[in-house]
Amino acid sequence: MALDVSVVKKDFPILDQQVHGRRLVYLDSASSSQKPRAVLEAMQDELETTYANVHRGVYAIAEESTRRYEDARAKVARFIGARSTREVVFTKNVTEAINLVAYAWGRSHLQPGDAVLLTEMEHHANIVPWLQLKAERGIELRYLPLTDDGHLMLDDLAQMVDGVKLVGVSCCSNVLGTINPVRRIADAAHAAGALVIADGAQYSPHMATDVSALGCDFYGFTGHKMLGPTGIGVLWAREELLEAMPIFIGGGEMIRDVRLDGFIPNELPWKFEAGTPPFVEAIGLGAAVDYLENIGMDAVRAHEKALTAYALGTLKERYGDDLVIHGPSDPEDRGGAISFVYKDVHPHDLSQVLDQAGVCVRAGHHCAKPLMRRLGVTATARASMYVYNDEADVDALADALAEADTLFF
């Protein structure tokens, strides 16, 4: 069933307003998405009727709070095709999920001289933790390069993965929009004896996710980019890997027993969930999963692909070579994040002018400075689309760029 944006928009209270006397056009979902009433109400209901710490009290509202929290985990497991809820660890965000793997798996498996293969398009969250290990352990970092049109260069993939212990790859670039062939990379990595960690922050909100089909061993994503609240993310990993990994953070909840001379960690997944978890946020994430599943992820992808095609065509038709769009030109190969440079206007200046027209876009390096250097720019403006955007929003962006012309030129 096709996605009806006119119906979807009504579910998002924040969109029913004006800024600077203009209709709010939110085109920054790659940074953080807006929240439907269903998510806001699920969290409010938990706070008003059932709020109590999870996995601790045996009184009625505590048990109900725990049930809702674990029900959210089950929804997430289903949403990504996990075999078991034991494989679903709640984290603060995908950054923490990747750091968990780098700390718990990396520090127990990587020795001086061991190699980790990343890509030039990775978010800092999938670079900095491995740079830390390079500084601490002397591991080797390799990087898959990019083509000029924003695809990974995979001609030498077999050579690049040779001798590697881990491959880290973004499923979908937050800058270029490129959808990467994760399964092909995973198959090559496994053939070389390496594991794969996939960053799904820009993938799971927009496309049907099946971790088995992707072929990865670790997978992370974050709630606030998929209609959920901030402060909640997910690490999925194969159960046998999580079982063998040492703990990440120590404290309450993650233990089965503690003595003065040692401790026994809890079972999965709570072994990696020290302290009071963000259970209200997890319940909100569960509601976001319900909302997206009600739309249908195939419908989400079809809508965004069509809207991205319209955006690419409209911007090219109206602005030609004055507007440079980075990333693949075929909507089939990309998500809905469009990074661009307009004439010689600095992206921050451009973003401020667009804001006066009610249009919200991101400007900056998008937590991907190595990629900015590869592109030969210090920053870009980025418009990113989601389920509540339509062609009128794209037209508003294009019109606002014309208004920028009158100011700068």
CA atoms within 13 A on the CB side of 93: 13
Provide the 10 A C-beta neighbour count for residue 198.
29
Helix (H) or strand (E) holding 342, with range, is strand 337-342
Given the residues 172, 216, 360, 367, select the one marked as catalytic.
Answer: 367
Burial letters for 306-342: b for 16+ Cβ neighbours within 10 Å, e otherwise? Answer: ebbebbbeebeeebeeebebbbbeebebbbbbbbbbb
For 66-118, give the DSSP string: HHHHHHHHHHHHHHHT-S-GGGEEEESSHHHHHHHIIIIIIHHH--TT-EEEE
Residue whose token pair is 């579910």: 11
247: helix, coil or strand? coil
The yes-or-no answer on residue 367 being catalytic is yes
> Do residues 277 and 67 touch, judged by C-beta distance below 8 A?
no
CA 384 from chain centre, in angstroms, equals: 13
Residue whose token pair is 């989400």: 300
Residues 6+ apart with CB under 8 A from 25: 357, 358, 359, 360, 393, 396, 397
> Do residues 281 and 228 touch, judged by C-beta distance below 8 A?
yes
52: helix, coil or strand? coil
Indicate the DSSP class of residue 214.
Answer: H
Query: Which residues are registered as beta bridge partners of 329?
Result: none
Indicate which residues carry an active-site annotation.
Answer: 367
